[in-house]
């Protein structure tokens, strides 16, 4: 007997909203900082599939091994191939890489590497784990996607109780309490970056955004403008280079922002140019040209560390903002030395 659904199978997705929905029909779950993944186990075969229905199996051999080691409690994992072939299920969840008390998206990205030897090495040095939040096919091979979440979630919890080893996979928490969800959204000490709300009365709709809402935590930081780059053409500012001070008083380059409007660029340029010639960054400085930049776009102008901006960001890891940031406002009231790394301390994982 084969699984009733096979890869490629698109996961149910969430619509991004500005505010969490409220009501008895909603269940809330953390939005984990990892790779969305559907796990297909059919006996002694395991396949991992990404959000976009691409294969992930070769990149996470330790997750595959963990799935193959799942047996009902009380059954000896060494019972042989016959017992192994009887185990089948499909799980929806997230692959994450723990790093101390936090999650490391940078380590996760390193795993998408063409060399199998490199992947194997990293699977030992920075092992990933799977966090389950939905059960699409149960351990008896029964298809659950047409059942409402109010049925699927208890089935997942029963599966976790009967099958899972916390050292191998983890069950994502869930609540119907709105206040708890708000705490998840505002707390800094979490391993996730938002909250997902799911309708309890709806089935699992593959590839659709029906019945799921997500809201990301709003994160802001005050940063020193340690330098800037001109736009690729002309003599107007293209981006601001952002810095934060460490405990030793060194100003480290942590990212950039370029989200000002076109009609603001001239005024911003005129504000920046008189401050040119300062030391810029006394710690880590911006890099040179790369395959994504021209020689001109890689050149930057160091500034005296006198200007402060407040920016909104999605993620901070490995000493930098992972993506570009959104400029919210200038902060003439803020002392540059008060712009420290403490604002973006790593988030501890639950």
**Rounded mean pLDDT, 77-97:** 77
Secondary structure (3-state) at 48: strand
- Encoded tokens for 257: 């922002």
Is residue 31 part of the annotated active site? The answer reads: yes
Q: Residue 345 — pLDDT band, cuts 50, 70, 90? A: low
What fold characterizes domain 15-216? D-amino Acid Aminotransferase; Chain A, domain 1 (3.30.470)
For the residues 292-318, what does the mean pLDDT come to? 78
Looking at 31, 198, 213, 214, which residue is catalytic?
Answer: 31
Q: Is 19 helix (H, G, I), strand (E, B) or coil?
A: coil
Q: Which of 90-104, 107-121, 332-346 has the lowest mean pLDDT?
A: 332-346
Distances (CA, A) of 261 to 236, 243, 285, 327: 12, 22, 26, 10
Neighbours of 126 (CB within 10 A): 17
Residue-range domain boundaries for the chain: 15-216, 219-343
Digit-coded pLDDT (tens) for 19-69: 899 999 999 999 998 899 999 999 999 999 998 899 999 999 999 999 998
> What pTM, to 2 d.p., does this model score?
0.71
Pairing of strands 15-16, 212-216: parallel
Calpha distance 51→77 (Å, rounded) = 30
Across 173-198, average pLDDT: 85
Q: How far apart are CA 106 and CA 316, in angstroms?
A: 10
Question: Given this chain, do its domains 15-216 and 219-343 carry the same CATH topology?
Answer: no
CATH homologous superfamily of domain 219-343? Nucleic acid-binding proteins (2.40.50.140)
Query: Does pLDDT of 123 surpass 80?
Result: yes
Bridge partners for 89 per DSSP: 41
Decide: 59 and 117 in contact? Cβ < 8 Å. no
Give the range among 160-169, 288-297, 308-317 with minimum mean pLDDT. 288-297
Q: How far is CA 170 from the centre of its chain?
A: 17
Torsion, Cα of 187, 189, 191, 196 (10° steps): -10
Beta-carbon contacts of residue 137 (< 8 Å; ≥ 6 apart): 3, 4, 5, 88, 89, 90, 143, 144
């Amino acid at each position: 007997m084969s699984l009733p659904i096979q890869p490629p199978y698109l996961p149910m997705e969430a619509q991004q909203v500005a505010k969490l929905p409220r009501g008895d029909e909603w269940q809330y779950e953390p939005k984990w900082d990892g790779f969305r993944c559907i796990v297909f186990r059919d006996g002694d075969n395991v396949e991992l599939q990404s959000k976009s229905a691409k294969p992930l199996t070769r990149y996470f051999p330790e997750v595959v091994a963990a799935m193959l080691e799942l047996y009902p409690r009380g059954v000896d994992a060494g019972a042989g191939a016959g017992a192994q072939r009887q185990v089948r299920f499909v799980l929806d969840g997230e692959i994450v890489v723990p790093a101390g008390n936090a999650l490391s998206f940078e380590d996760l990205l390193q795993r998408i590497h063409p060399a199998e030897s490199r992947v194997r090495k990293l699977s030992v040095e920075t092992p990933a784990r799977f966090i389950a939040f939905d059960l699409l096919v149960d351990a008896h091979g029964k298809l659950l996607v047409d059942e409402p979440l109010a049925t699927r979630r208890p089935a997942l919890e029963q599966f976790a109780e009967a099958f899972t080893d916390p050292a191998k996979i983890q069950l994502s928490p869930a609540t119907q309490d709105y206040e708890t969800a708000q705490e998840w959204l505002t707390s800094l000490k979490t391993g996730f970056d938002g909250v997902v709300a799911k309708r309890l009365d709806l089935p699992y709709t593959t590839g659709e955004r029906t019945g799921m809402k997500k809201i990301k935590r709003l994160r802001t930081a005050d940063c020193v403008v340690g330098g800037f780059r001109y736009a690729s053409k002309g003599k107007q500012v293209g981006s601001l280079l952002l810095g934060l001070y460490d405990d030793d008083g060194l100003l480290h380059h942590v990212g950039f922002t370029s989200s000002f409007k076109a009609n603001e660029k001239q005024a911003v340029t005129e504000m920046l140019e008189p401050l040119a010639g300062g030391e810029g960054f006394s710690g880590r400085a911006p890099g040179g040209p790369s395959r994504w930049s021209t020689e001109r776009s890689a050149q930057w102008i160091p500034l005296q560390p006198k200007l402060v901006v407040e920016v909104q960001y999605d993620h901070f890891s490995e000493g930098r903002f992972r993506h570009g940031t959104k400029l919210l406002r200038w902060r003439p009231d803020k002392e540059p030395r008060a712009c420290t790394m403490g604002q973006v301390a790593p988030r501890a994982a639950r």
